[in-house]
Amino acid sequence: MQSVGLCVKVNHPEAGGTVRGLSKWLAARRLTVLLDEDAGELIGSAGRPREVIAEEADLLVVLGGDGTLLSVARASGERAVPILGVNLGTLGFLTEVTHDELYAALERVLAGDARIESRMRLAVTAERAGESLGRWLALNDSVITAQALARMLDIEASVEGRKLTTYHADGLIAATPTGSTAYSLSVGGPIVDPAMDAIVLSPISPHTLTQRPLVLPGDREIEIRPSARAGGLQLTIDGQEGARLQEGDVVRVTRSDHPALLVCSPFRTRFDILRKKLHWGER
């Protein structure tokens, strides 16, 4: 390993001191330190866009919360670069390592003793009359909702070219196993182990109680044709980007050939995180 990229959430009080200390610690180990623009701003140094950092770094260290990690994963594009998430946010479900554990976790990474998980991502496309509206990679989920308040959608979903159902709901979530503990979980979706190859379809507030979340094999292609009874439609990727849709547009969701690589915490298991962060199994 020759270079480490630092990507940071700027509005956290510990961020500036952590970037300074970590930069010195890495430089003392003869590693090139690459700062994103936010990290550079914090310490008065030159920073570069995350997309550039992700192209050059052998490891990305994310100092922030889950939203910051999702942003960095998106910036990495199709490149498989390991991402170590250090929680400076609130929930910190994807950013598994605490601030106090940062240096111990890095020592293990540099020694080649860290466990790195390959996390499935979704390849999402949207088309209008045969013209592309965009292509995205989603580590957590792809969500279709109405732009108008309190408006129900009719969402026709097909799997491998065969009709699945027409959802009458406030929206539809297509989630990865990693994203199964995010928005999908809040609407009654199942918790899926991130090592599984699966796509979870979870309707948001369906009008019909029989339209429950569905787990599909990860190699299926899902075609979604939403329509709104009034107002526009919105496609959102990982809660951070997307496109406005209109009736007649087609959204396709498949497993991406380019997974994300996440460095796992050496100090706790996935089930420890479920119990601590989500109070899973508690009475």
Domain positions in the chain are 3-119+259-278, 122-255
The per-residue pLDDT for range 50-80, each reduced to its tens digit, is: 999 999 999 999 999 999 999 999 999 999 9
Q: What is the token pair recorded at 270?
A: 């996935």
The dihedral region occupied by 205, where left means phi > 0, alpha psi between -120 and 50, and beta the remainder, is left
Class of domain 122-255: mainly beta
Options 36, 38, 66, 141, the catalytic residue: 66
10: left (phi over 0), alpha (psi -120 to 50) or beta: alpha
Report yes or no: 177 and 198 within 8 Å, Cβ to Cβ. Answer: yes
- Classified by CATH at the fold level, domain 3-119+259-278 comes out as Rossmann fold (3.40.50)
CA distances from 63 to 19, 107, 232 (A): 8, 16, 36
pLDDT tens digits, one per residue of 140-177: 999 999 987 667 899 999 999 999 999 999 999 999 99
Kindly report the pTM of this predicted structure.
0.93
Alpha-carbon span 142 to 186, nearest angstrom: 15
Active site residue 66: yes
**Span 214-238, mean pLDDT?**
93
pLDDT category of residue 120 using cuts at 50, 70 and 90: very high
